[in-house]
């Protein structure tokens, strides 16, 4: 299976964050099935459990499913336009704040969560609501070399 670098980085981030999050159960909302399958396997290998897998066909329904599952750690495997829609619905459902951690792929533009007049699929949330919804998210970004001459988690 081929994986893009950010997908792999998302998995490494989750595994190394496990000790800090104090939670063994993860929820996944995605548009990338193969990556999600690999993520589930890696989670199991590291003593974590994928509780809910939600596919994004209907954004509101996907967020309702996350809420029903009592999601707290959520991995978002989707593109920027869908990410804005998901975060708006997450705000409306109360899936934001210090009790929630979102891991999202990191190739999005700066301030990706802010609505724009140019959006092909506009969101029904204000800029402030979107900023609040995205406040406790992590994005994964490629760091090609370790800092200070030390190897990164990926061994580079």
User: What integer pLDDT is reported at residue 125 of this predicted model?
Assistant: 95
Cα–Cα dist 75/150, whole Å: 28
Q: What is the pLDDT of residue 134?
A: 93
- For 85, phi then psi, to 5°, come to -65, -45
Q: What is the pLDDT of residues 18-71, one digit of tens each?
A: 555 555 445 444 444 556 667 677 777 777 766 666 666 788 888 888 898 887
Q: Which domains does the chain have, with CATH numbers?
A: 28-125 (3.40.50.2300)
For residue 103, what pLDDT is reported? 83
Count of CB atoms situated within 10 Å of the CB of 67: 14
What's the chain's Rg over C-alpha atoms?
A: 15
The pLDDT tens digits for 80-132 are 888 899 999 999 999 999 999 888 877 788 899 998 878 778 899 999 999 99
Residue 36: the pLDDT is 63
The string of DSSP codes covering the chain is: ----HHHHHHHHHHHHHHHHH---EEEEEES-HHHHHHHHHHHHHTT-EEEEEEE-SSHHHHHHHHHHTT--EEEEES-HHHHHHHHHHHHHHT--STT-EEEEES-SPTTTTS--TT-SS--SS-HHHHHHHTTTEEEE----S-GGG---TT--
Distance CA 2, CA 11 (A): 14
Tell me the whole-structure pTM to 2 decimals.
Answer: 0.68
**Residue 61 φ/ψ region, left for φ over 0, alpha for ψ in the -120 to 50 degree band, beta for the rest:** alpha
């Amino acid at each position: 299976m081929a994986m893009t670098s950010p997908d792999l980085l998302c998995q490494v981030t989750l595994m190394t964050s496990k000790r800090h999050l104090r939670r063994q159960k993860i929820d996944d909302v995605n548009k990338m099935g193969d990556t999600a399958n690999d993520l589930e396997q890696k989670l199991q290998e590291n003593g974590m459990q994928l509780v809910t897998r939600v596919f994004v066909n209907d954004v509101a329904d996907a967020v309702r499913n996350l809420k029903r599952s009592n999601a707290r750690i959520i991995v978002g495997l989707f593109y920027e336009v869908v990410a804005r829609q998901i975060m708006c619905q997450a705000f409306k459902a109360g899936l934001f704040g210090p009790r929630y951690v979102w891991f999202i792929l990191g190739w999005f533009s700066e301030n990706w969560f802010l609505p724009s007049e140019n959006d092909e699929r506009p969101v029904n949330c204000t800029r402030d609501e979107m900023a609040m919804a995205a406040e406790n998210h992590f994005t994964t970004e490629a760091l090609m070399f370790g800092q200070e001459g030390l190897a990164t988690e990926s061994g580079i």
